[in-house]
Amino acid sequence: MALSPKAVLETSLYVTDLERAVQFYEGVLGLRKIDDGYFPGGRGAALQVGAERSVLLLFRAEITQQGGELPAHGTAGAGHVAFRVEPEELDEWRKRLREYSVSIEKEFSFGNQPASIYFRDPDGNSLELAVASIWRFER
Amino acid sequence: MALSPKAVLETSLYVTDLERAVQFYEGVLGLRKIDDGYFPGGRGAALQVGAERSVLLLFRAEITQQGGELPAHGTAGAGHVAFRVEPEELDEWRKRLREYSVSIEKEFSFGNQPASIYFRDPDGNSLELAVASIWRFER
């Protein structure tokens, strides 16, 4: 069988205030922080997304750009991540965002699909809540 | 049950030469391009990762930063993505990278885990092939 990765394991976003960002992702999105040990000196944080093996990494680019034990990386500007949600949860998500005073920047339907909900994290990264059926996955 | 996303659905990286990037991800990593319709005017490309619902988006930041129908985003600098591979495949991956003349920048073992393999895409984004057991996922 052809060699290819099984999935994306780690997705990265860059933030300036790590504590504020973790609070946002834990509160608004309900993610869970895991494994602090890999992030000495406030370098970043890892958040588990759902029950699948999916990790969101929040990094402080000013530190990760310096490299060190691991290869250097780090970006400036707004990144983009979409989180998979279920279609029947979209109203609950709208309510959740209102509760946390997070503005919905846009709702957009791809074709006839349930709307994707777009909003920003405190660093301006563009986040999307989307149903999986917006993509025509091949088996 | 508490509301939280099921997984990361879309992970984004930014590239300057889209064709070169797609060729790299299709060739070296064996990803499959899907759904060109969402990317008018060379805005980006979507690649399915594995058989799970996991999408890598490649964007040209010079275009996505302008916004339009969808919220603006776009970064400069090296992003970071880790792809999930199986431990018994690591040697095949080393061989694959050699075949494509892609330099391994670093191999690093987290604790007693099989090594993560780090390399760069043509735009300098930091890619990692990693086994899922480097993370202590909670159920």
The mean pLDDT values, 10 residues at a time, for chain A of 139 residues are: 91 97 98 81 92 93 94 98 98 98 97 96 98 89
Q: What is the DSSP string of B30-67?
A: --EEE-GGG-GGG-EEEEE-SSSS-EEEEE-HHHHTT-
Put simply, the answer to whether A84 touches B7 (Cβ < 8 Å) is: yes
Residue whose tokens read 């999307």 = A128
Put simply, the answer to whether A5 touches B65 (Cβ < 8 Å) is: no
| ipTM of this complex | 0.96
Q: What CATH code would you report for B10-134?
A: 3.10.180.10
How much is the mean pLDDT over chain B?
Answer: 94
Which of B71, B48, B33, B34 has its CA nearest to residue A128? B71
Candidates B78, B108, B137; nearest CB to A72:
B78
Q: What is the DSSP string of A87-105?
A: GGGHHHHHHHHHHTTPPP-
Chain B nearest-CA distance from A68, in A, is 11
pTM (2 d.p.) = 0.96
Map out the domains of chain B as residue ranges.
10-134
Chain B nearest-CA distance from A22, in A, is 15
CA dihedral B45, A1, B80, B35 (to 10 degrees): 20
Three-class secondary structure of residue B14 per DSSP: strand
**B51 → chain A, closest CA residue:** A139
pLDDT in tens, B9-38: 999 999 999 999 999 999 999 999 997 667
Q: Which residues of B touch A31 (CB under 8 A)?
A: 4-5
Q: Which residues of B touch A69 (CB under 8 A)?
A: 108
Pinpoint the alpha helices (H) of chain A: 18-27, 61-64, 90-99
Distance CA A35, CA A3 (A): 29
pLDDT in tens, B58-77: 999 999 999 999 999 999 99
The vertex-A35 CA angle with B103 and A127, nearest 5°, equals: 75
